[in-house]
Amino acid sequence: MGVRDGLSLTLDGRGHVLVDPGELQEAAARLRGAAERLDTADIRLGSAAWRAGDLAALLPQAHALGDALATLRRAVHGPAGLADDVRDLATRTADAAAVYDLAETAAQARWAGVVGALGLAVGIGPFGPAALLTAAAGVAVGDLLLAEARDLALAPGGRTSPGDALAELTDLVDVPRRIVTDGRAALVLQLLAAALGSVAGASAPQLDPVRRFSALVAGLLPARDVRLVSRTDPPRLPAPRGVEGLVALAARTYDEGTATGEPGTPLATVTLQRLDHADGSRSWVVAVPGTRAAGLTGDVPTDNGTNLALEGGVPDVMTRAVLAAMAGAGIGPDEPVALVGHSQGGMVATNVAAATAGAYAVRLVVTAGSPDVPAVPPPGVATVTLRHREDAVSLLDGRVGERGGPGTLSVVRDLAATGGPVRPSFSEAHAVAGYVRTGALVDQALADAPVGDPVRRALAEVLGDTPAGATTSQVTVTTGSPVVPATPGGLPVPPVMRAAPPTPPDGTFGEPAAWPPPAPGLLTRDALGAGAGGAVSPGPTTSSTTGRS
């Protein structure tokens, strides 16, 4: 995957490195132009030296001039030498731009080749799953096995001391952290998914095994109805300022059982914040929390069943719920919208942006610690993807490196080198509070981005300078029987929607269903008021008390 026509931001111990591949390519072109002009200067010097030789017959002093010109042409820092140096610099600059544009390491490319070769083994013989599992184990502990083999080769008769045994045990225990930090965990996951998919009949070497297996499992889960309950007492949340403020809004959208959640907030709550600006215009921010339930089909839809559906590219309940909440909130088609989410919430935000093309004026999507999904925001939507190098959750899509696309700012932060824990646990690396801090670092780095950068423009368009008021409303998403709200008026709530389709009766598994579906079918009031099983009558609406900050 690559960062094309976007920005790459690396946050590590050396500060931040903000790279625009397009600007690098432009710089390389200018350097090549400078080299050509130096070549022209060298040719002109040669012509002048030749003419000086002709003049020597009439003017003896011309000999000295000719010698000086010839010496200048041969000099290391003469036009010809400088042209070669500048041309080499242009080539290196273009290469650097290509590296950032592709955002794929050489090791990652080799990994893809390995997965493809082993996928072929799955297709031609019965030993494919065993080969894939063996390869997964080899990738995970291959460095330890190589080190052990080296020690045996150097000292075949040596005996391991208790201290050596303890060190080896420590290295073995540290394997999960190391393979996440260096990206090997993504390949291990791809191999495991390919093995499991081949056993389940979903082997296809040419396709992403993690995505295909996720879609297979999601298709086996029963469809779920989803209901939205409008909160009558939402907290008074401040208007976000910059990327930090957007991620902080997602952090405060979590339930009260978390370190960042607001007291009284239920599980699976979505925040919709209306920003009223001094010029009379209006914009919106929609914040979605991450996973808060371990099951697959429970009453809380922010669970692993939704994760599988999102990763597999099949319909999921949280995307449908957010679309319904946006329709009920009264967001105008021309009012700028920013979508932000942490973990699962980031995947939902990306799906919603793709599904609302042409229906809402989505300007910005911010994801924090989120795996990729098949859906891609439409052109004109700026994207900020935040990832901690030590965050295992962001690798659950089986991909390592930067998240990208047109108008993308892809951010990778090394926590250990930038003020985070020296050896962060998996929970610390994935914690939304850490991503709030990362957002603050991004805001600082964006000052170095071009004025016309898509992310800077989108932030200005949605957040403005100083909103005159921020009105917060929230809906809680759950599954089960439709709810009949007790309070009339306010936020319309579609009572029933259907989630992922069941597995075909014959048990076969084909390509994942097209998702997101066309926006008009999702966003019309009639469509939102009907479930997959047929039309249902719209339920009563509820009144949502708003909090102003």
Q: Is 354's pLDDT higher than 60?
A: yes
Report the predicted TM-score, pTM, of the whole model to 2 decimal places.
Answer: 0.69
Task: Indicate the range of 375-379, 471-475, 533-537 predicted with least confidence.
Answer: 533-537
**Total Cβ atoms within 10 A of residue 220:** 15
Mean pLDDT, residues 309-335: 94
Alpha-carbon distance values, 150 to 155, 156, 298 (Å): 9, 10, 50
Rounded Cα gap, residues 55 and 71, in angstroms:
18
Rank 164-173, 266-275, 417-426 by mean pLDDT and report only the highest: 266-275
With bands split at pLDDT 50, 70 and 90, how would you rate the model's confidence at 385? Answer: very high
pLDDT of residue 239: 92
Task: Indicate the range of 71-75, 198-202, 528-532 predicted with least confidence.
Answer: 528-532
Task: Indicate the range of 42-56, 247-261, 352-366, 463-477 predicted with least confidence.
Answer: 42-56
**Bigger pLDDT: 23 or 350?**
350
Rounded Cα gap, residues 363 and 462, in angstroms:
7
> Residue 63: what residue type?
H
**Cβ neighbours of residue 166 closer than 8 Å, sequence gap 6 or more:** none
pLDDT of residue 40: 83
Q: What percent of the chain has pLDDT over 90?
A: 33
Q: Helix count (H) and strand count (E) of the chain?
A: 18, 13
Q: Is 44's pLDDT higher than 70?
A: yes
The token duo for 447 is 């000052």
Per-residue pLDDT tens digits for 137-170: 666 565 555 565 555 555 555 555 555 666 666 6
**Total Cβ atoms within 10 A of residue 498:** 17
Q: What is the mean pLDDT of the chain?
A: 74
φ and ψ at 57, to 5 degrees?
Answer: -65, -30
Per-residue pLDDT tens digits for 424-442: 888 999 999 999 999 999 9
Buried b (16+ CB within 10 A) or exposed e, 517-549: eebeebbeeebbbbbeeeeeeebebbebebbee
Strand locations in 201-351, DSSP E? 226-230, 269-276, 282-288, 336-342
Q: Is 256's pLDDT higher than 60?
A: yes
Q: Is 517's pLDDT higher than 90?
A: no
pLDDT of residue 213: 82
**Bigger pLDDT: 64 or 296?**
296
Which three-class secondary structure state does DSSP give residue 24?
Answer: helix
pLDDT of residue 234: 93
